[in-house]
Amino acid sequence: MSDTRRASILLSGGLDSATVLAIARADGFECHCLTVDYGQRHRVELEAAAVVAAALGAKTHRVLTLDLRAIGGSALTDEIDVPHGDEPGAGSVPVTYVPARNTVLLALLLGHAEVMGATDLFIGANAVDYSGYPDCRPAFLDAFAELANLATVAGAEHGVRFRVCAPLLELTKAEIIRRGTDLGVDYGLTHSCYDPTPEGLACGDCDSCTLRRRGFVEAGVVDPTRYR
Q: Is the dihedral of CA 72, 109, 120, 219 positive or negative?
A: negative
Q: What is the dihedral of CA 128, 13, 210, 168, to 10 degrees?
A: 10
pTM summary value: 0.93
Q: Give the tens place of pLDDT for each residue, 202-226.
A: 999 998 999 999 999 999 999 999 9
Are the C-beta atoms of residues 70 and 45 closer than 8 Å to each other? no
Spell out the domains of the chain, with CATH numbers in brackets. 6-219 (3.40.50.620)
Q: Give the tens place of pLDDT for each residue, 32-83.
A: 999 999 999 899 999 999 999 999 999 999 999 999 999 999 999 999 999 9
What is residue 97's DSSP assignment?
A: P
Least confident of 56-65, 130-139, 177-186, 191-200: 130-139
Q: Give the tens place of pLDDT for each residue, 126-136.
A: 988 666 788 98
- Is the confidence at residue 186, as pLDDT, over 70? yes
Indicate the SS3 state at residue 161. Answer: coil
Closest among 207, 206, 212 to 225, alpha carbons compared: 212
User: Cα 89 to the chain's mean position, in Å?
Assistant: 18
Indicate the SS3 state at residue 143. Answer: helix
